[in-house]
Amino acid sequence: MFVLAHLSDPHIPPLLEPRPVELIGKRITGYLNWKLRRGAHHRRDVLDRLAADLLTQAPDHVAVTGDLANLSLAVEFDGGRAFLARLGDGKKVSVIPGNHDAYVRATNGMYLTAWREYLAGDDGQNAPFPFLRRRGSLALIGLSTAVPTPPFFASGRLGSDQLDRLAILLARLSKEAAFRVILIHHPPAGARPWLKRLEDAAGFRDVVALYGADLVLSGHDHIAAVNEIAGPQKLVPVVQVPSASAAPGDPRGGGAYNLYRIDGGPGHWSCEMESRGYSPDGNIVSIGKRKLV
């Protein structure tokens, strides 16, 4: 059995005070939003306790599906690396970027250097995404939907080149004995505002419908949700988790993470999901279990 842990959207608090010159353009709206609204929903003590609980579960691997940063300040990528290192080294932890990790053009792509050991594919391919990391019976496929967007937009995009490479990779993996897990920040299923959508979600769904996958892990909406998309022979679960730093009692759900216990082999895989997170009284508990595959 392989145990995969999944957390997302830590938006690592507290927000470090930017220099005035760093608040040009989109960052000023994000900064004001944090000060007036978002900051009250994200707490460092909540994130630290959740990470500690995750480590006590001793998963075989940890997947982090983006939004470690808030405004893509250069210093935030160092903080993101320190957070990833707390969870483990690059052999034990995989990360993909979210839209807040590519918030502005000036620092877009800094995560590629700062988090290199956590998003480097096993074969050292030139294009960073999709990356492929084999861990036990799993084939972890990391995608990037992170692109700089105008103020008030939080949308994402894969692009035709990345979708083409994903199709080639999934076609190859369909002939191998691997449980295929796709990591993608913007969910390709479920409802969300137009400004927060994955622009080419239909293209992603078409690729999976043709070549298949076993599990899709995402974040972005700060909610717990399970949707499904079509595969060539079966439906593929798409799972979201709340923000890992969301305070207990948050209307979208307090901080939580998922454990996926994966067993079996081609044609008879099994995957049970256990959610662990904050109860309204501030304790971290098992929220429930669900069979996905």
d(CA 224, CA 203): 24
CA 134 to chain centre: 18
User: Does 3.60.21.10 match the CATH number of domain 2-291?
Assistant: yes
* Domain locations in the chain as residue ranges: 2-291
Q: How many CB atoms lie within 10 A of CB 285?
A: 13
d(CA 170, CA 229): 15
d(CA 137, CA 153): 38
What pLDDT was estimated at residue 124?
73
Q: What is the DSSP letter of 148?
A: -
What pLDDT was estimated at residue 127?
65
d(CA 163, CA 143): 9
Six-digit token string for 197: 């959508």
CA 159 to chain centre: 18
> How far is CA 239 from each of CA 19, 153, 177, 214, 261, rounded to the nearest angstrom?
37, 23, 22, 11, 14
Six-digit token string for 194: 């137009």
Contact between 63 and 8 under an 8 Å Cβ cutoff? The reply is no
What pLDDT was estimated at residue 126?
61
Q: What is the mean pLDDT of each run of 10 residues along the chain (293 residues)?
A: 98 94 93 93 97 98 98 97 98 98 95 96 82 97 97 97 98 95 98 97 98 98 98 97 96 97 94 97 96 96
